[in-house]
Amino acid sequence: MKTTKNKEYTKQELEDFLKKYSIIWRQQLNIEYEYRSKNVSTAFKGIGAFGELFAALYNSGFVGSGSGGLGFDLINEEQQKEIEVKTSSTFQSNKCDNCEFKFSKIFTTCSNCESDNFHDISDSRFSINAKSLLDAYDKKIISALVLFHIFDKPKSINLTTGEITFIVNCYNVPFNYDNSKKEVKRLQYFRNQKEQSKKSNCCNLLPCSYDFYLLSPEFFDSWEISFNFINLDTPIKITNQFNQVNKQIEVNISICSSKEEKDLFKKLSNRKNTLPLEVFAKNFEYRKKRFNKDRGKIKSVLG
């Protein structure tokens, strides 16, 4: 089917697109399940391309730039604007507390030593080039930073039946060139990295973290995807979870680390555990970070 770059996609068409990618993700998980003894991670590989295409479907007039990683992901030639797209999957490996092997999250025992003592890893981040973003902002060509967060729904993995459910949350960080306090604060995050780090221009932004919320992201859509990674003939189920209620982001006190942060949070929330995003972003500041620090040596699990 031939489409134009200015086409507006309906919810049904977005659902159809997600179903096509869900077939790929289901197959990747099935491979992890079938070849468990080889302990190779195959799930959610190539999600960068998924995010770019998904963002293009939401943004009429924008198409892939074909930059190959050397420029911004989507461009609108008529408007002379660009969009940067980042996708993070925090459906990651489990790590064995006994032998330190990493193994697929769908399993309940280590693939190496069969221990059931393990913890999950969920530290995948959005890697954003601060210098490139700020340069584009100075030229007034960057329109937005679009972020997709993919994660497994809590307690949804059933190894016996093969059933699993994922959530895809969609966020937009717009740049309006209005010199508002919100925009100044957004830019400060990237300027901190560019000006204070001698080693890297890369911002490693953790989804739903302290810094993530200070960017005042706009939550614009949410999808739930359920499928069976053992029986591939089972139908894939996709539902749109977005509504005007969950559009309003609530920040939980758990992201606060210091006593000062927790005390301020409790004061602003009237001692509740959540705060509206707008209140949080307005009253909290970026933490001082240790840039240029030595990351240490990589430990081998082979001794």
Domain boundaries, the chain: 11-247, 249-290
How far apart, in whole angstroms, are the C-alpha atoms of residue 106 and residue 93? Answer: 9
The amino acid at 38:
K
pLDDT, one tens digit per residue, over 89-116 is: 999 999 999 999 999 999 999 999 999 9
pLDDT, one tens digit per residue, over 35-58 is: 999 999 999 998 999 999 999 999
What is the per-residue pLDDT for 292? 55
pTM confidence score: 0.92
What is the per-residue pLDDT for 7? 84
Secondary structure (3-state) at 177: coil
Q: Which distant-in-sequence residues (6+ apart) come within 8 Å of 129 by Cβ? A: 201, 202, 203
Instruction: Please report which confidence band the pLDDT of residue 67 belongs to, taking 50, 70 and 90 as the band edges.
Output: low
pLDDT, one tens digit per residue, over 136-189 is: 999 999 999 999 999 999 999 999 999 999 999 999 999 999 999 999 999 999
Secondary structure (3-state) at 212: helix
